[in-house]
Every structure is written in C-alpha cells, then in structure tokens.
C-alpha cells in the first residue's frame, strides 16, 4: 500500500505542475503587482533571486543559505523585507512566497507581467 500512495502523490505532483504551466498567464495577471514588488526587491542580485526561488516553505533559511551561499545577515534582511511587503506566508524560518513564480521568473527574457 505505501507504494501505491507514493505513486498517487507523485502523479498528483505531476498534474499540479502541468496545471501551473497551463495557468501561468492567468497567475501572472492576478499577481502582477506582487511580482513587480518581488522583482524590485530582488534587483539584479543573483543570490537574492536564487534564494527567492527556493522559498517554497519546505526549506529553512539555513538550507537556503547552503544552496545559494547567500550571507546569513543578507538572507535574514531579505526575509524581513519580503514579510513587510506581505510577500511571505507562514513561518519566516521556513520562508514561503505568498505568490507562485516560474523557475525562469528572474531571467531577462522572461515575461515581465
């Protein structure tokens, strides 16, 4: 039975990912203001951008720092800034962006909506 449950969860995750791809344009329209603020906060800083892309509520700040090599103080300040802008939900120790963004969100050729 555990194998069946894990297969179902994996299938549901795939379906969720496909639905997000199909709905990306509508999500971008809905979250346009918040996405603009997110881009403004990140600026051209690659460590900030990489850190934000990892903020899905599953990783602690420590884990994000390990993956991105972002300075502890700078990450803490980023999390506080995102909280003040109401772009985070839940526990700041495991930051979770309040909006969804695609993996190419910060790329220069990505849609700026």
**9-36 confidence digits (pLDDT tens):** 999 989 988 887 777 788 778 788 999 9
Question: What are the residues whose beta carbons fall under 8 Å from the beta carbon of 65, sequence distance 6 or more?
Answer: 71, 72, 75
Strand pairing of 88-89 and 96-97?
A: antiparallel
**50-90 confidence digits (pLDDT tens):** 999 999 999 999 999 999 999 999 999 999 999 999 999 99
| 3-class DSSP state of 53 | helix
Calpha distance 85→75 (Å, rounded): 15
In the chain, the domains with their CATH numbers are: 31-97 (1.10.10)
């Amino acid at each position: 039975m555990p194998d069946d449950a894990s297969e179902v969860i994996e299938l549901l995750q795939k379906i969720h990912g496909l639905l997000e791809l199909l709905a990306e344009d509508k999500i971008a329209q809905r979250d346009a203001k918040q996405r603009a603020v997110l881009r403004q906060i990140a600026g051209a800083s690659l460590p900030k951008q990489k850190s934000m892309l990892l903020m899905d509520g599953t990783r602690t700040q420590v884990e994000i720092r390990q993956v991105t090599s972002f300075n502890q103080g700078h990450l803490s300040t980023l999390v506080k800034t995102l909280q003040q802008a109401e772009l985070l939900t839940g526990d700041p120790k495991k930051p979770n962006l309040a909006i969804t963004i695609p993996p190419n969100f910060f790329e220069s050729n990505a849609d700026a909506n």
